[in-house]
Homo-oligomer: A and B are copies of this chain.
């Protein structure tokens, strides 16, 4: 089975429609406006113009909050994208509100880790979940981030536990739109 996409890619367009290697198994709107239901998602390793029922663009960039000690711990436990057994793919586009973006760096960091423990909570799950964060806000996209995950089917309950816990944190009180697109690699 070919990997889902080139793990080295810098930019990406997720195209929701009736084509692509990812079969949508469920879509769920957590907050704000939904995305229209689609059958498949095509992952393109570049920024493409609007196509399909919806298309979401993002770029991988440097980490905005992670400090060195956290980075070192994350690097040890983070699996690569494209593992053969990681048949479940989850895309969670997220938009935060203006109040979040008007905070200073130390205030955002304080909420992100000191009070919400985003990294600390995620670490125990990471050996099972490969992830990549794509930034979209700078591209003028409707969502600020496209969070992307790959995992084996047996680890879906653990993944659900993690995202549920994160959604209860103070950080998530700034989230005004969140949609979860759960998919399965079909070839």
Asked if A66 is an interface residue, CB under 8 A from chain B, the answer is yes
Q: How far is the CA of A103 from the CA of B62 in the complex (A)?
A: 8
* Chain B, Cβ-Cβ closest to A136: B138
Chain B residues contacting A155 (CB-CB under 8 Å) are none
* Chain B, Cβ-Cβ closest to A107: B68
Indicate which residue in B10, B104, B140 contacts A59 across the interface (CB closer than 8 Å).
Answer: B140
A residues 159-173 with Cβ under 8 Å of B? none
A residues 123-170 with Cβ under 8 Å of B? 135, 137-140
Q: Mark A87-120, 1 if CB is under 8 A from B, else 0.
A: 0000000000000011111110100000000000
Asked if A63 is an interface residue, CB under 8 A from chain B, the answer is yes
Chain B residues contacting A59 (CB-CB under 8 Å) are 138-140
A residues 32-75 with Cβ under 8 Å of B? 47, 59, 61-68, 70-71
* Chain B, Cβ-Cβ closest to A102: B62
Indicate which residue in B10, B62, B68, B102 contacts A140 across the interface (CB closer than 8 Å).
Answer: B10
Asked if A122 is an interface residue, CB under 8 A from chain B, the answer is no
Chain A interface residue count, CB cutoff 8 Å, equals: 27
Chain B residues contacting A68 (CB-CB under 8 Å) are 104, 106-107
- Quote the shortest CB–CB distance from A15 to chain B (angstroms): 19
Contact B66 A105, beta carbon cutoff 8 Å: yes
* Chain B, Cβ-Cβ closest to A67: B106
Asked if A78 is an interface residue, CB under 8 A from chain B, the answer is no
A residues 16-45 with Cβ under 8 Å of B? none
A residues engaging B (CB < 8 A)? 10-11, 47, 59, 61-68, 70-71, 101-107, 109, 135, 137-140
Known: A10-B140, A62-B101, A66-B104; 9 extra A-B contacts, CB below 8 A, are A59-B140, A61-B138, A62-B102, A64-B105, A65-B105, A68-B104, A68-B106, A70-B104, A135-B138
